[in-house]
Amino acid sequence: MEAARRSDVPVAPLAGRAIQRIVGKDATLSSGRMTVGTARYSDDTGPMAPHNHAEECIVVLEARAARVRYGPAPDDLPTVIALEAGLVLHIPELEWHVFEWDAGGYADCIVIYGQVDNIRPEDIKRS
């Protein structure tokens, strides 16, 4: 068994989120089968662009004035879900979505993929 304290895992700032790679490829705890990390969506990293990728599960740990929008295309995301602690989201493979928040709002989440490769859309389409 391996263990890691979240406070010891490096934070990588990306556009629209700050992530921690906890379990998986190139993560603090190595796995060739799964990816687990955290994502914090807030003003600190700026707005996120709509995106899609591999099937994903997200567990919301904390949130204030934050939401996810999703739909059939990056410019057509009509469905909105307000984020709150304890909410679990299942995002199907290649579904377009974007996390948003009001000024001063945020969402702190656990992010889970059932794979370590072919997570980005360009990789999925090639497989």
Give 14-56 as a DSSP string: ETTEEEEEEEETTSSEE-SS-EEEEEEEEGGG-PPPPB--S-E
Break the chain into its structural domains and give their ranges. 6-126
pLDDT in tens, 48-83: 999 999 999 999 999 999 999 999 999 999 999 999
Q: What is the CA radius of gyration of the chain?
A: 14
| pTM, to two decimals | 0.92
CB 50 within 8 A of CB 77: yes
DSSP 93: T
Q: Contact, 50 vs 111, CB < 8 A? A: no
Task: Assess contact for 80 and 67: CB atoms under 8 A.
Answer: yes
**Residues in contact with 55: Cβ distance below 8 Å, sequence separation at least 6, in sequence order:** 90, 91, 92, 93, 113, 114
First CA to last CA distance, the chain = 32
The fold of the 6-126 domain, in CATH, is Jelly Rolls (2.60.120)
The model's pLDDT over 89-114, given as tens digits with 9 standing for 90+, comes to 999 999 999 999 999 999 999 999 99
